[in-house]
Each structure stands twice: as structure tokens, then as C-alpha cells.
């Protein structure tokens, strides 16, 4: 009886010990992964927003109580007297930079210490995302940037202008054919259809008409890739909070069907062009020419590091989807929105458009588009007030010392692996005259960064501006953009999406201009 009791007692003791060990390990992990990060900015003497466990300062965003656009703006204004301040994106500490001189140092002068973006997606899990230019790091990014840069020069944009202009004319003619006095339009929907067609023709060599064929495969796949909601948004948040665990679980942002679709298009296009010698003034042709040049150089220089594979070309073509499908359409929406609310500005822009058409004998040219000063002013002011990319991010790759600028600061060491972000200010008044020849020189350098700053700025900025200006030109040449009952005013941004979209949709009216009837 005594021996049986002893055995049971020992067994229970061992079981208890195992549970104690497990609980101890879990407690240690909880402390180092959840509790300790909360004091990151406090330990460094950085002014910061007090974080909550696990959620950090992102509770309002996580529970869709406030859109990230307004949350970042609130933080920016709350710390108006600071050169920088600390925030926790869930468990990840992030340093927000406000000081213009410090922004210049980080993005340009000391760029080599902040060369990378915070790419949390593993190339092993998502090759097409990991291999595109935005997500590449270090020397691989340098090599790819050098390879792609010649494809985005003004001369190459001129080659692609005809394709973009054709898409813009097709877009405008679709609404002309409606032959109604006033069309009520959800412009986010129709502008994404235009950007889809522009991307399809320029980056993938395909012809689409997404206004006529509303459910075409390319549009549906593009919408899937750029809609960060539901399970996709959950996966992104999990990568932010638990990158190693997410990689271990092989969480994917792109579905296998999306990868198969875009990879198949590129391979089919490359094979057909190589076999038949087809030439088309688009991005596929430019990347094929870049690969030929690399292979030629490789025979002369054995240490040449980068030769584009089919997967590399597909990954770079997808940049247009990630960077152009949603963000370009958002910019177009806000241009249209501000023009609808500011009729005098719209009339002045239409006068410039009419004058340009007369000078071009009714056919817009690349050169004429880039001479239009007021159009450039309107687009620039929209980018200032409603920047689709309202944050820049940089990853510190080598410890960086920020010396104190006043008695309230201490020396700060931005450690290797620390993430920094740069929010943009957002005064409310829409005034294109900020960017006229007389005033634009008064804009403080590095206070206006619509396409980033330094060597890691947006490589496709020329393309994005050309795309937007071309559509605005053709649309306003035929239509007035007007405010209707469903137009969101004042603007209220939806909290359930990462992108900037108003609650209830982006509704505006297209009214055919007098003397601009379809003939």
C-alpha cells in the first residue's frame, strides 16, 4: 500500500514538474516577446505613445475604429514639438521621424545605413513578392535597380505613352457613349478599371477593356492582389507580429492561383516574342532587352552578378500591380474629388486642356502633356494633400547615432534592425498655386515626398504621373466632374481598409461638356 502510494506520488510530481517547466518556458517567452518590447522606447529615453500588450498602439486600427491614415496624422500632430517619437506596431517598435534635416540624412546623406525596406515576406514563401524591386535588400537591390532604371527614363516613357493614351481615350469614349446628361459614377471602381487596362498593356502586353468586360480575369486577379482585407490583412498583421512563426507556417499573401496566373502570362508572352521576334513598346520588351544586354555583358565580364530570370521579370511586372493598380487609382479619385469641389480650379485646368488640344491639332502628344504647367500643379497639390503612400519606411542596417539637438533629448542609437517611418504633414486647403513657378521654390525640401526620397525613391514615378495626367486630360476634355448627392463631404475615410477610401464609396458625377457632344 505504501509503495503504491509512493509511485503515484512520484508520478504526480513528475507531471507537475513538466507542467512547471512548460509554464516557465511560456512565461519567459511571454516576457521577452510581449512584455519587454513595451519598454523599448522608454529604455532609450524616446518620447513615445504608451503601448498595450500585443496590440501596442494599433488597437484602434486592429479593431477598425480608425483608419491608419488618420491615426498616423493624429500621432504626427500629437508629437508636434518632437524631432522623432516612438510607436509600437503591435509588438514591433517603430521610430517616426518628423525633423526634416534628419529625414534628409536618413534617406540621402546616410542612405547606406538605411538602404532597405522592412520586407517581412520571405522570398522562400512568396518568391514573386520577395524578388520584386521594392522588397529586395542590399546588393541585390542595387543590382536590380541598376538593371531596371534605364527602363524608366523619359525616352522609354515616351515609348509607352501611346499605349496609355489609347487606354485613356477608350475610357472616355465608354462614358461618352452613355449619352446621358449626368452620369453618377463610383470613380474608385472605374479608375481601377483604367489602371488595370494600363498595367495590362504596358507591363504584361495584354489588351483589356475592363469597363466593357467587367469581370475579365486580369482585372479580377489584380483586384485580389491589391485588396488588403480579410485573411490577407490578417496574414500581413501576423507577419508584422510574429515573422518567424508566420514563415514557419508558410503563410501566403498571394494565393497559388494568382501566382500561376501572372507567371503563366509572362512565360507565354516571353516565349511568343522570342520565337516570333515580336516587338511592342511596353515593359516586357524593355526587360527582355535588359536581359539580352546582361547576357552579352556576362560573356565579357564573368563577375557580372545579375541576369534576369523569367521569375524576376514576372516579379518586376507585378510592381505595376502593387504600385499602380490601387495607388494610381486613388490619386485619380482625389484629383477628381478636389476638382468637383473646386469648380474654378477645374475650369482653369479645362482651359489649359483646350488650348493644348488646339496646339496639337486635337491629338495629345507626350511633349504637349509635359508642357502643361497647371495640370502638373493640380496633380502635385493632390499628392501633397492626399498622398496615397503617406508613409516612408526604412530599415536600419547598421547602428546609427542621432545626437541630441536640445536639452530634452538624449543621444539615440538607432540599432541595426530598427524600423523607422516618415509620416507626411497634411494641411487641409487645396491650392495648386503652391506649385506655380513663383511659389514652388518656397516649399521646404524634404517636406514634400510624394514618391519617396533618395536612391530608394519610386522608380516608376514618371510612369505614375504620365498615367494620371493622361487620363485626367482626356476625361476633362469631354466632361465636367461635379459633386452629387452621394459625394462624400466632408470626407470620412473607411476604417476597415488599409488603403484610403471614403465610407460609402467615391461617388461623383460626369457631365458632358457643352459643345463636346459625341459626334
Q: What DSSP string runs through 469-489?
A: HHHHHHHHHHEEEE--TTS-S
> What average pLDDT score do residues 112-119 get?
91
What does the alpha-carbon distance between residue 81 and residue 515 come to, in Å, rounded to a whole number?
54
Q: What is the pLDDT of residue 35?
A: 78
Tell me the pLDDT tens digit for each residue of 56-98.
999 998 888 899 889 999 999 999 999 999 999 888 899 999 9
> What's the predicted TM-score (pTM) here?
0.89
Specify which residues 422 forms β-bridges with. 392
Q: Is 224's pLDDT higher than 80?
A: yes
Q: Say whether the peptide bond before residue 297 is cis (omega within 30 degrees of 0).
A: no
Mind listing the pLDDT tens digit for each residue in 425-475? 878 899 999 999 999 999 998 999 999 999 999 999 999 999 999 999 999
User: Which residues are CB-neighbours of 486 under 8 A, at least 6 positions away?
Assistant: 184, 504, 505, 507
Q: Measured between alpha carbons, how far is 96 from 197 in angstroms, rounded to an integer?
A: 37
Q: Which residues contact 305 (CB under 8 A, 6 or more apart)?
A: 139, 143
pLDDT in tens, 164-176: 999 999 999 999 9
For position 437, what pLDDT does the model report?
95
Residues in binding site for heme: 458
For position 298, what pLDDT does the model report? 54
- What average pLDDT does range 129-134 have in this prediction? 88
Measured over the CA atoms of residue 287, residue 288, residue 292 and residue 293, the dihedral's sign is negative
pLDDT at 301 over 60: no
Q: What distance in Å separates the CA atoms of residue 65 and residue 60, rounded to the nearest whole number?
A: 5
| Cell numbers linked to 229 | 482585407
Checking if the pLDDT of 195 tops 90, the result is yes
504: left (phi over 0), alpha (psi -120 to 50) or beta: left
Lowest mean per-residue pLDDT among 197-206, 219-228, 332-341, 407-416: 219-228
- Judged against a pLDDT cut of 90, whether residue 188 lies above it is answered with yes
- Digit-coded pLDDT (tens) for 466-502: 999 999 999 999 999 999 999 999 999 988 777 788 9
Question: What pLDDT does 118 receive?
Answer: 84
Binding-site residues sit at 458
Phi then psi dihedrals of residue 80, to 5 deg: -65, -20
For the chain, give the mean pLDDT: 88
**pLDDT value at position 299?**
46
pLDDT (0 to 100) of residue 84: 97
Predicted confidence (pLDDT) at residue 160 exceeds the cutoff of 60 = yes
Amino acid at each position: 500500500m505504501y509503495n503504491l502510494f509512493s509511485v503515484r506520488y512520484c508520478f504526480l510530481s513528475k507531471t507537475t514538474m513538466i507542467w512547471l517547466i512548460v509554464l516557465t518556458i511560456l512565461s519567459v517567452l511571454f516576457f521577452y516577446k510581449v512584455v519587454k518590447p513595451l519598454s523599448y522606447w522608454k529604455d532609450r529615453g524616446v518620447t513615445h505613445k504608451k503601448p498595450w500588450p500585443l496590440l501596442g498602439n494599433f488597437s484602434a486600427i486592429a479593431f477598425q475604429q480608425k483608419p491608419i491614415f488618420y491615426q498616423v496624422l493624429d500621432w504626427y500632430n500629437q508629437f508636434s514639438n518632437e524631432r522623432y517619437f516612438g510607436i509600437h506596431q503591435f509588438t514591433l517598435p517603430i521610430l517616426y521621424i518628423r525633423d526634416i534635416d534628419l529625414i534628409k540624412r536618413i534617406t540621402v546623406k546616410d542612405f547606406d545605413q538605411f538602404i532597405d525596406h522592412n520586407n517581412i515576406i520571405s522570398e522562400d514563401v512568396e518568391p514573386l513578392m520577395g524578388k520584386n524591386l521594392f522588397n529586395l535588400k542590399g546588393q541585390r537591390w542595387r543590382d536590380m535597380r541598376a538593371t531596371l532604371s534605364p527602363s524608366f527614363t523619359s525616352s522609354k516613357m515616351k515609348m509607352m505613352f501611346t499605349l496609355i493614351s489609347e487606354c485613356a481615350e477608350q475610357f472616355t469614349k465608354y462614358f461618352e457613349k452613355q449619352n446621358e446628361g449626368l452620369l453618377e459614377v463610383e470613380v474608385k471602381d472605374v479608375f481601377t478599371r483604367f489602371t488595370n487596362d494600363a498595367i495590362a498593356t504596358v507591363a504584361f502586353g495584354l489588351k483589356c477593356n475592363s469597363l466593357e468586360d467587367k469581370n475579365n480575369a486580369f482585372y479580377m486577379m489584380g483586384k485580389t492582389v491589391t485588396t488588403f482585407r480579410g485573411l490577407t490583412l490578417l496574414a500581413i498583421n501576423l507577419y508584422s507580429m510574429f515573422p518567424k512563426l508566420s514563415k514557419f507556417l508558410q503563410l501566403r499573401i498571394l494565393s497559388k492561383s494568382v501566382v500561376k496566373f501572372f507567371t503563366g502570362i509572362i512565360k507565354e508572352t516571353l516565349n511568343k516574342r522570342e520565337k516570333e521576334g515580336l516587338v511592342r513598346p511596353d515593359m516586357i520588351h524593355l526587360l527582355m532587352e535588359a536581359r539580352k544586354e546582361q547576357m552579352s555583358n556576362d560573356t565579357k565580364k564573368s563577375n557580372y552578378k545579375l541576369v534576369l530570370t523569367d521569375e524576376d521579370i514576372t516579379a518586376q511586372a507585378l510592381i505595376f500591380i502593387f504600385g499602380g493598380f490601387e495607388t494610381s487609382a486613388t490619386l485619380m479619385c482625389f484629383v477628381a474629388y478636389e476638382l468637383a469641389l473646386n469648380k474654378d480650379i477645374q475650369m482653369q485646368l479645362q482651359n489649359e486642356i483646350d488650348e493644348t488640344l488646339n496646339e496639337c491639332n486635337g491629338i495629345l502628344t507626350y511633349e504637349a502633356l509635359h508642357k502643361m504647367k497647371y495640370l502638373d500643379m493640380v496633380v502635385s497639390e493632390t499628392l501633397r494633400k492626399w498622398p496615397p503612400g503617406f508613409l516612408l519606411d526604412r530599415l536600419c542596417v547598421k547602428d546609427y547615432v542621432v545626437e541630441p539637438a536640445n536639452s530634452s533629448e538624449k543621444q539615440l542609437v538607432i540599432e541595426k534592425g530598427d524600423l523607422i517611418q516618415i509620416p507626411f504633414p497634411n494641411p487641409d486647403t487645396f491650392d495648386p498655386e503652391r506649385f506655380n513657378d513663383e511659389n514652388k521654390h518656397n516649399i521646404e525640401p524634404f517636406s514634400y515626398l510624394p514618391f519617396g526620397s533618395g536612391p530608394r525613391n519610386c522608380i516608376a514615378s514618371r510612369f505614375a504621373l504620365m498615367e494620371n495626367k493622361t487620363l485626367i486630360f482626356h476625361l476633362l476634355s469631354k466632361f465636367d466632374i461635379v459633386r452629387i448627392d452621394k459625394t462624400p463631404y466632408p470626407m470620412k475615410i473607411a476604417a476597415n481598409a488599409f488603403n484610403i477610401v471614403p465610407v460609402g464609396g467615391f461617388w461623383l458625377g460626369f457631365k458632358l461638356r457643352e459643345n463636346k457632344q459625341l459626334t
